[in-house]
Amino acid sequence: MSIRKLINLKFAFIFLLFFGCSKNSLVYEEIPQEVLYSCTDYDRLADPNFDSNDLYAFWEIFVADAKCSMSSSPDYDKLNTDVYIFYEYESDALFASGEVLDYGAYAASSCNDSRVRVGIAYRYWNDINIWQKLGLMYHEFGHDVLRYGHSSNPDDIMHATSPFASTYNGFIESKNRFFDKKFDGLRYLDCSWYEGYVSGTMRTNLPHILHDCDKDHN
Ligand SMILES: [Zn+2]
């Protein structure tokens, strides 16, 4: 075999190898990603006309999701008759100093079963995508409605540090563990002080306790 033929064969082999590789990578790219199942849909959030400043829309989704996801089928909209979700802004002084709020959000009424109080840091809210927003809301409702403490797994909605999963599938995996109560380090907030306060057996300064026990931020 002449040297020229050898060179031609070599090029043909390289071409086949290249073609074969690129064909394989095309095949990989064409495999559709599995869209995880959820008993409630989030189409409303994906709608380009959805206004993510409508914070109560996230409460409505959470309520529907809890009802179909949890074995006890709770009606959290009926149990929580007093729901207030609001933005928090930097004070002029803080903003002038070049700083921003050091939390993403907080829940302020964990121990009261009929009330929801969730504050959202406006600037942070506008920095995260729609799945991270939904995860942040679930995190605060996890404190306020389910009385969850923080998880030790950064992939969990109840981890102390947000943002959480940035994709639909990531959110679904995390919220399944959340509603199944199967996440790392699951613990509940201690509300014994609140029962004592309500029954009158504990004479303490409520605002002080609210600050210590109830306010939990990311
Ligand atoms: Zn938290």
Backbone angles phi, psi at 87, to 5 degrees: -90, 150
Q: Tell me, what CATH number does 103's domain have?
A: 3.40.390
Q: Of 59, 111, 79, give the one whose Cα is nearest residue 215.
A: 111
Residue 6, in any domain of the structure? no
Distance (Å) from CA 161 to ligand 1 centroid: 8
Per residue in 57-98, pLDDT tens? Answer: 999 999 999 999 999 999 999 999 999 999 999 888 887 888
Residue 118 has pLDDT above 70, yes or no: yes
User: For residue 70, what are the contacts with CB-CB under 8 A and spacing of at least 6?
Assistant: 179
- 69 within 8 A of 178, measured Cβ to Cβ: no
What tens digit of pLDDT does each residue of 175-197 get? 999 999 998 888 898 888 777 66
Centre of ligand 1 from the C-alpha of residue 138, in Å = 10
Domain span including residue 72: 51-217
Q: Collapsing DSSP states into helix, strand and coil, what is residue 87?
A: strand
pLDDT reported for residue 25: 56
Give a yes or no: residue 15 inside a domain.
no
Residue 6, token pair as written in the block: 């050898």
Neighbours of ion ligand 1 (CB under 5 A): 216
Decide if 36 is inside a domain. no
**More confident call, 124 vs 31:** 124
> What's the gap in Å between 199 CA and the centre of ligand 1?
27
Domain presence at residue 9: no
Instruction: Evaluate whether residue 5 is within a structural domain.
Output: no
Examine residue 31 and state whether it is found in any structural domain, yes or no: no
- What's the domain count of the chain? 1
The rounded Å distance from CA 163 to ligand 1 centre is 11
90 belongs to a structural domain:
yes
Look at residue 183 and tell me if it is in a domain.
yes
Please give the pLDDT value at position 24: 55
- At 134-172, the pLDDT tens digits run 999 999 999 999 999 988 888 999 998 888 899 999 999
